Structure 1
Amino acid sequence: MLRFCLLVSMLAVAVPVAADVSGRVRVIDGDTFDVAGVRVRLHGIDAPEGKQTCETEQGANWACGAWVTAQVAVMYDGKRARCREVDVDRYDRVVARCEVEGRDVGQQIVSRGLAFAYREYSMAYDLDEKGAAINDRGLHSGRVQNPAQYRATSAKGRIPVNKNCVIKGNITKSGQIFHVPGQRDYERTGINIAKGERWFCSEQEARAQGWRKARR
């Protein structure tokens, strides 16, 4: 009996418990908040990236990503939120469903046409998106590239083809510079092979070809 109780206790300790995050909101973008200093990615929704552009029905480009961020900031910046953790993503952000004044934040954002239901992870906001689309609310009044597709397109030239050759040789006004994983500008640096930029498999190889390491 004692062994059984110990086993139950060990299992109880091993199972992670979802955490609540509560506090004032600082809006980062349409689907990402800082809540009491914790970076929170809203579960089940996907908003345009900050630099993403969209088209109006007349074919004019507009900064929809920045617009969405501004709209969501008006709705939630400085307000108190209570968020229930669902997961933690690869960027170590808490993925959560949040409430402000007792109302589901994700549902409100999707209903106003400021984000899409992220059906890959949840169907919770499927009908809310359809309602926004039928009524041409927010993003649905124009042409918007799916945010996930936009991210995949933007990542072109940033993800190594060969997992063993991850050093980025970048040509700038300062000359031929290489970036290694972990440096400040590594993630946002893209490689344009047509311009003479390239991937290296080691720092020694890069230096031998006349490239220097980025300072940061």
Structure 2
Amino acid sequence: MRAFFVIMVLALGGLWAAAALHVPAQANHPTVLVIDGDTLLVDRHVVQLAGIDAPEWDQTCRHHDNDWSCGQSSAYALSKQIALNHNLDIDCVPAGARSGSPVRSCWLKNEDLSLTMIQQGHAVALPEAPQHFHFAESQARRASLGMWGSQFDFPDLWRIRNARRTDCAFKGVTDADGVRRYASPLMPGYDAVEAATTFCSDDAARAAGWHALGEALDLPGGGSGLD
């Protein structure tokens, strides 16, 4: 069953700085927030974008002997896509699960968010992604778009190599109800969070049993509430 969402709250980022854009509230309208370059918080539920893997927030790439924040650039690119289309419905279709979170193919204005991220060079196609994703990746690579204009570790390799880091930007804190929460730099309330621990990716936080800031807990009987 398709889920149609009107975006009411979203993260809007420039190239090096992000801000939360608050759209006037309307009854019964959910919210969409960007967690990182391939993860959204839709109606208080974490959604992984189907078929892609984006560089992590703390990941840097090497361009002309200089490091640049390709992970942040990826997250801001996704934020920009959503912010520019904040008055449109977002259509997310079930496509499996990853890291314990629902995987969705999400569309805005007849554009697949995952495919657009690949076309811009802000994400790589997963092995199981459809063939046109891999074709789009090869085109982005030939044109040296985004990450393809630099030297970089694929996101899965970067996560392995940085699994023991303790200086990453995702903050972990236990809330007043005893629920372990994590916040990404693009999420409202991030600056106010006093981190008890940190994570280098959304994947790592979720694998450790933490929930996104503002995420609804599992519904009775299971399920994400998105189907």
What amino acid does structure 2 have at the position aligned with 1:112? Q
Counterpart pick for 1:26 among 30, 33, 38: 33
Structure 1 residues 107, 51: CA separation in 2 closer, same or farther (over 3 Å shift)? Answer: same
State the shift of 1:33 in Å: 1.1
SS at match of 2:152: coil
Give distance in 1, aligned partners of 2:102 and 2:77: 22
Alignment partner, residue 207 of structure 1: none
Give distance in 2, aligned partners of 1:141 and 1:19: 37
Q: Which runs of 5+ in 2 are unaligned?
A: 8-31, 167-178, 182-195, 201-227
1:91-143: CA deviation from partner (whole Å, max 9, x where unpaired): 3x210111101111111110011111111455441001001111111111111
Greater C-alpha Rg: 1
User: Higher relative contact order by CA 8 Å / sep ≥ 6: 1 or 2?
Assistant: 2
Alignment partner, residue 50 of structure 1: 57
Alignment partner, residue 89 of structure 1: 98
Preserved contact between residue 54 and residue 61 of structure 1 (Cα < 8 Å): yes
Alignment partner, residue 68 of structure 2: 62
Preserved contact between residue 117 and residue 123 of structure 1 (Cα < 8 Å): no
State the shift of 1:38 in Å: 2.1
Q: Does structure 1 residue 136 correspond to structure 2 residue 172?
A: no
Alignment partner, residue 224 of structure 2: none
State the TM-score, normalized to the length of structure 1: 0.60
Mapping of residues 74-85 of structure 1, within 5 Å: 74-77=80-83, 78=86, 80-85=89-94
Q: Which has the higher helix share?
A: 1
Alignment partner, residue 125 of structure 2: 117
Q: Does structure 1 residue 99 correspond to structure 2 residue 107?
A: yes
Preserved contact between residue 97 and residue 103 of structure 2 (Cα < 8 Å): yes
State the shift of 1:188 in Å: 4.0
Give distance in 1, aligned partners of 2:161 and 2:33: 28
1:139-192: CA deviation from partner (whole Å, max 9, x where unpaired): 11111110000011122489xxxxxxxxxxxxxxxxxxxxxxx97757749xxx
Counterpart pick for 2:48 among 30, 41, 65: 41
Structure 1 residues 140, 102: CA separation in 2 closer, same or farther (over 3 Å shift)? Answer: same
SS at match of 1:125: helix
SS at match of 1:144: coil
State the shift of 1:19 in Å: 5.6
Give distance in 1, aligned partners of 2:3 and 2:99: 19
Q: How many residue pairs get matched?
A: 147
Give distance in 2, aligned partners of 1:105 and 1:95: 13
Preserved contact between residue 4 and residue 89 of structure 2 (Cα < 8 Å): no
What amino acid does structure 1 have at the position aligned with 2:155? P
Give distance in 2, aligned partners of 1:153 and 1:21: 38
